[in-house]
Structure 1
């Protein structure tokens, strides 16, 4: 199979497209013929070697944790799945940016999502939903989402709105219209946040979800009045210091199915900033690594022509400099 791989730790330029051995699913796993995969922070943190002390990789390694594709091989013990099903989901910390990938958690991809959207939904939806679930019922409550325009943040906004919350989201001014389109009341982050919220939420902010390491955790605790009303997905040290809840992603098929159901209802649409063909994965990684993206960066594994045709139907641009 063709795959993106890096043979040594380094920058985005270390990524190459080459032949790699076909993987096969173990018990409780499935293999998909990948249509698209997305880029997440862990991908470049592993590629640069920043996580060497925590995660041991066998090089060469294929980046990518999530993908969408058609099932073509099913491992022992898997029930309710057929070859030919279109699914999205999560695998190990590597392996998704290839023609074939192994998933250990998955859900049927809604017909309302194109491949690029489905490829980007897995990690952000389970991360956002774990954080939101930890905050309890959202109905009738005012939620502050810090870093609301990013991949996890935008998912959290739309899912929280679907669950009945009034959502205030922080982002740069250039993303305020985007947040409004998701159903959030936008405001800027940084100094003076508490004062701005007084006008936006005169009855106070009930709970807060921190999706980006922006050194704002102290402010979020002060705004909500109780560290147990704050969940951080990005600041482990700060959360432990302040006594907030600290959560991360998990390969959870139940949460993936819940996100897919919201997608079928038209209440959650994964947001894509840019899609790249596989041959330009180095550019995709460099783009994502710069940060401040609106939604996710996606890598299309199938032919560029097919990806362009589908993306055009959904109003998204596939970047190609060739």
Structure 2
């Protein structure tokens, strides 16, 4: 084999697995089609918390009573949108560089391109428009993480209708933004946007905001993070169709009743953030080449986390590389392939 282990995906899951593999004496390569660090570093935890830190400072400066209690006088506050965006990006870039250097220092081969399983213990990788290369590995780990889930009927343009991946770039701060989905992603962005001056409207399909939260936490979040801010909401409705702004027209959001499917109203806003959750990134991995059929994007495994094919046969088994778990606010999805 060319390698003892090949990892597809260089997010925090793949990075951790690579370092542990080298420590165990395995010749290791990691394949990344985008940038090292994956969702958490580049489009999730790191930049989102950087923006939340900025929003917290803005709120503190706007709290005249609190400032006066400290003996401080603040005449006016403002922000530089591009500088705020650069702050989040620079922090992600620094961490991304540290992750890359740590793998190079440990002797991990970093291969650039999109990885695809083409057969038993065979992986092909390469950039679009360039010749692909094929390597063999005794073990293969898929650590491709997740991507934003966009429901049918929603047209993404990346400017006026966008996902959290786009929003973290903070290319604009709209006067009025609708956030479709009131989970933790939507709630975090509502904090950022309202701190920077936007009005927010939540669109939630279920009958209450933050339906996946612990009830007591949801009550506290409603009281502190929603009721005290320029936020309104529609619950029990689907955004059946969203049309980006163009030709001077606003973003159009057609709302239908979640139960009856009847049209309720059409919202006209400056922008819409789609925060309807995330889905496993398994498309294009070549799983069909080892007879593995995904279930709603997820790879089927048995009670021992062994991957099974379409006939229910075990095609790989868990190995000692991943006797640990990564818990993150942003999903990190890891499976281990130890081809039999």
What is the TM-score with the length of structure 1 in the denominator?
Answer: 0.29
Specify the structure having the higher radius of gyration (Cα): 2
| Structure having the larger proportion of residues in helix | 1
